[in-house]
Amino acid sequence: MRWATGGVNYSYLLSKLAPPSMTSANWIIDPAEPLEVKDQLSNHELHSITTIVNTHHHYDHAGGNVAFATLLTQRENPSFIIGSTLSATLSTSKVTQPNDGQIFDLGHNITVEAIRTPCHTQDSVCYLVKDSEKDDYAIFTGDTLFTAGCGRFFEGTGEEMHSSLNHILDRTNGHWDKVKVYPGHEYTKSNVKFIRHMVWKKIGDNKAFDHLEQLVLNTEVLTGMFTLQDELNFNPFMRLNDPFVRKAVGDDNNTLSEKDVMTKLRKLKDNF
Ligand SMILES: [Zn+2]
């Protein structure tokens, strides 16, 4: 979505089945500008949504909750907003703020596990979706993890981002090459530009990154194209011990802690 407010955001409909057999236990994630999101949905899809889900409370993710709720005709569950009690909501009694590790069963072999990842905001949640029938995985990462980047540390520290990203890896251990990443924004182009200027400056420094850079040239929508393993290969915020990353933050002698590398790397990006 290109919001009228200027953001290049992603809003997601989470559903296993395609219309017309689509059933009514579907999630809409971060529908911040409801009318624009509605325009992208068929009637079947719109009517299949029972739950509005937010990755964090920022307005460009949660600001559409109240208006979107009025568009929904099926509300089986009074707690039909999952996200943060800080989100724009009808009333806080209708909000489920998920605990770390909380599981939601969507039926059709699909479960979603909430992974709390405080840093960008303290209420940031990533949602790990598992299809046990197909051995398929997806993670909706909001503004915590982007393709080849991570969110700004508005309410947290480098230490928190480092531990949040590792928390995601712990929860998905053994499946990194299967977990597709769906971030909250399309920032890949600018992330790639930053990385080429500051980290892997030459072709051949990181082959996975070279490949990503080529893809970015002629692909606009990159969400869902990469796995956590890809991020481990080309995302400098997940490669804090990579010698090129250390060099970028001025730590040629490898003396900084990982959390300090994280903090310095994010500062470089903030000022880029
Ligand atoms: Zn945000």
Q: Residue 32 Cα, ligand 1 centroid: separation in angstroms?
A: 12
pTM comes to 0.94
Q: Give the pair of three-digit tokens for residue 228.
A: 């956590």
Going from the Cα of 141 to the center of ligand 1, the distance in angstroms, rounded, reads 11
- Calpha distance 238→68 (Å, rounded): 35
Could you give the CA distance from residue 66 to residue 254 in angstroms, rounded to a whole number? 49
Q: What pLDDT, in 10s, does the model give residues 135-146?
A: 999 999 999 999
pLDDT at 78 over 50: no
- Distance of CA 150 from the midpoint of ligand 1 (Å): 11
How many Å lie between the centroid of ligand 1 and the Cα of residue 198? 24
Element (H, E) at 230: helix 228-234
Provide the pLDDT confidence category of residue 24 given band limits of 50, 70 and 90. Answer: low
What share of residues in the chain are helix, strand, coil (percent, to 5)?
Answer: 35, 20, 45
Residue 56 Cα to ligand 1 middle (Å): 7
pLDDT at site 53: 94
Digit-coded pLDDT (tens) for 38-77: 999 988 888 888 889 999 999 999 988 888 888 875 555 5
DSSP-derived secondary structure letter, 2: B
120 CA to centre of ligand 1 in angstroms = 7
CA 89, CA 65: separation in Å to the nearest integer? 6
